[in-house]
Amino acid sequence: MHSRPVFALALVLLLGCGDDDARTDAGRDSGPIADAGPSAQSLTLFVFEVVGTTETPLAGATVALDPAAGARVEQTTGADGKTTFEGLDLDAGVSFAVYADLDHVISSVGTLTRTDFPRLMASGLINGGGELRMGLGLVEPPERVTLSGTATNMTDTSHLLQVWALAPGATTSVMTGPAWSLKLPPTADPFRLFVYEWFQPVGTTSARGFELTTVKYVLQNQPAVSADTTVDIDLSATGETPATFSGSFAIPSGGFFDEADGNLWIRTPPEQGSAIIGHMNRIDVNTAGTAFEYEGQAVAIPGVTAFTSHFTLSDSPRFSEVVLREDLRSGSHDPGFLEPPEPTRPAFGVVQPLHDPIEWTTRDTDPRFIVFLNRGLGANARTIWSHSALPVGSTQTAFPQPPSTVDAGALFSDTVDGRVVACDWSAVERRCLRTAVARSFELAP
């Protein structure tokens, strides 16, 4: 909510969402992962579409398997989204690339060996039945309708107007002046709009801090929408009274952390629209450079009792974020930020062939590292491929050759670039609780 860019990355669920019953090593050598001799084994992949938290098995998806030694093998998934490869040497390792169609993000995995199974089962990426879960997100967002209109009685039309729909899958609108527009999935349920008018005053902070002033908060009931709808918002209505809070959060030292700007948001959970209902009025790094100290305010939304707290550090184009399903607006906190990976290959400004090795450095060796391939630039950029580096903690990987069913001309129809992301995955939350994103680099398909 300040004028400098705040970067966010919609992370595609690479291997799918975790099962609560998959957090043990039980069943490692049972079910679809079965011994057929000292090293030969079989492995079942479960491929599904991911839209929000909904999983739908994908039939007819192509799974390309590359053994550490041997030729590529391709199979297609059945109606249940599954396919089984027999006679594998999982001690030597195998890698996978999964493609459904141009509507879905390609998902691939670096070299997977038996030693990775306990870790992947603990994180829910191998389920209790021993199946490797491969979730494919959509390249374009699912169908959404436009909700737009005009706000009357703004204090000053040079201020910014922010409008949130407290409904799953909704975007937000932030524009100068009274016009606003956002998108959300068609819904049969009524919801509320959460609206505030704000501006950024002349600040008194360092270059790493910022200040803002919110004039008014308004909640407005909204009937269900099934098509594009125009709605007026009256800011003369009785507003919501925010509660103030203050606190601090620790920042590591060195490199990125010595330059990054800090922020903290309090949000409704995704199932209630992910609206920012708590934000900073003032935040700045302390004189020792060891923490960000802040003052903020938050609005209580009737019926919303669960929150997520988002601690962020950003130094464009790199950023680090910690998301916790708790209300941590007050007090002193140590979020435990991950360091954004630093790509060393390709070097900065060098265009590299798509399938050449990618390397990076980081002080964090425990998280999963995922490389995202994006097509297009700016607002038109779309993630088309996500590749997980294995084993966990690897600092190098490479995109495999795509499955034979891929139309390469259509897939790579525009500029493509890559970005390495560190992800501390939670099987219970089914998302990355800590995320750190590197600068991008250009690849030539």
pLDDT at 392: 84
| Cα gap 424→338, rounded to integer Å | 9
255-292 confidence digits (pLDDT tens): 999 999 999 999 998 888 899 999 999 999 999 999 99
Confidence of residue 443 (pLDDT cuts 50, 70, 90): very high
At 122, phi and psi to the nearest 5? -65, -30
Across the range 12-23, mean pLDDT stands at 30
Q: Say which residues have a Cβ less than 8 Å from residue 254's Cβ, sequence separation at least 6.
A: none
Confidence of residue 16 (pLDDT cuts 50, 70, 90): very low
Q: Across 378-430, where does the E strand assignment appear?
A: 382-389, 396-397, 416-426
Is residue 241 exposed (0-12), middle (13-18) or buried (19+ Cβ within 10 Å)?
exposed
CATH classification at residue 372: 2.60.40.10
pLDDT at 445 over 60: yes
Same domain, 171 and 233: yes
pLDDT at 2: 41
| Cα gap 346→353, rounded to integer Å | 9
At 257, phi and psi to the nearest 5? -70, -25
Same domain, 208 and 221: yes
pLDDT at 40: 63
Is residue 291 exposed (0-12), middle (13-18) or buried (19+ Cβ within 10 Å)?
middle
Which one, of 260, 262, 214, lies nearest residue 235 by Cα? 214
Across the range 61-88, mean pLDDT stands at 96
Across the range 221-231, mean pLDDT stands at 96
Which one, of 287, 286, 244, 288, lies nearest residue 262 by Cα? 286
| Cβ-based neighbour number of residue 392 at 10 Å | 16
Same domain, 230 and 344: no
pLDDT at 130 over 50: yes
**Are 281 and 297 in contact, with CB atoms under 8 Å apart?**
yes
Looking at 333, 363, 396, the residue that finishes a domain is 333
Query: What's the token pair of residue 410?
Result: 């259509």
pLDDT at 286: 96
390-416 confidence digits (pLDDT tens): 888 899 999 999 999 999 999 999 889
pLDDT at 293: 98
pLDDT at 284: 98
> Residues 151-162, buried b or exposed e (16+ Cβ, 10 A)?
beebeeeebbbb
Across the range 412-435, mean pLDDT stands at 90
Query: What's the token pair of residue 253?
Result: 């030292």
pLDDT at 242 over 60: yes
Confidence of residue 380 (pLDDT cuts 50, 70, 90): confident
Confidence of residue 27 (pLDDT cuts 50, 70, 90): very low
pLDDT at 32: 44
pLDDT at 219: 96
195-219 confidence digits (pLDDT tens): 999 999 987 999 999 999 999 999 9
pLDDT at 28 over 50: no
| Strands 191-199 and 160-165, sheet pairing | antiparallel
Find the domain containing 328 and state its range.
145-333
Decide which of 377 and 85 is more confident: 85
Lowest average pLDDT, out of 16-25, 112-121, 197-206, 355-364, goes to 16-25
**Are 189 and 227 in contact, with CB atoms under 8 Å apart?**
no
| Cα gap 69→335, rounded to integer Å | 43
Looking at 306, 333, 360, the residue that finishes a domain is 333
Decide which of 2 and 117 is more confident: 117
pLDDT at 117 over 90: no
pLDDT at 431: 82
Same domain, 61 and 47: yes
Overall domain count for the chain: 2
Lowest average pLDDT, out of 1-15, 235-249, 303-317, goes to 1-15
Same domain, 255 and 357: no
| Cα gap 293→262, rounded to integer Å | 9
| Cα gap 427→321, rounded to integer Å | 18
pLDDT at 89 over 70: yes
Same domain, 247 and 189: yes
| Cα gap 217→237, rounded to integer Å | 10
Same domain, 219 and 316: yes
Residues in the chain, total: 445
pLDDT at 163 over 50: yes
Same domain, 20 and 137: yes
Which one, of 75, 54, 46, lies nearest residue 133 by Cα? 46
- β-sheet with 172-176: strand ranges across: 172-176, 160-165, 191-199, 213-222
Same domain, 198 and 137: no
Decide which of 121 and 178 is more confident: 178
Dihedral sign (CA 289, 295, 301, 305)? positive
pLDDT at 3: 36
Decide which of 4 and 100 is more confident: 100
pLDDT at 12: 31
pLDDT at 26: 27
Same domain, 202 and 307: yes
Confidence of residue 328 (pLDDT cuts 50, 70, 90): very high
Secondary structure (H, E, C), 235-294: CCCCCCCCEEEEEEEECCCCHHHHCCEEEEEEECCHHHCCCEEEEEEEEEECCCCCEEEE
Confidence of residue 234 (pLDDT cuts 50, 70, 90): very high
Across the range 158-173, mean pLDDT stands at 95
Q: Which residues pair with 323 in a beta bridge?
A: 310
pLDDT at 393: 84
Mean of all residue pLDDT scores within the chain = 88
Same domain, 119 and 151: no
Across the range 97-126, mean pLDDT stands at 91
DSSP letter (8 states) at residue 346: S
Looking at 275, 298, 333, the residue that finishes a domain is 333
**Are 148 and 172 in contact, with CB atoms under 8 Å apart?**
no
Same domain, 280 and 156: yes
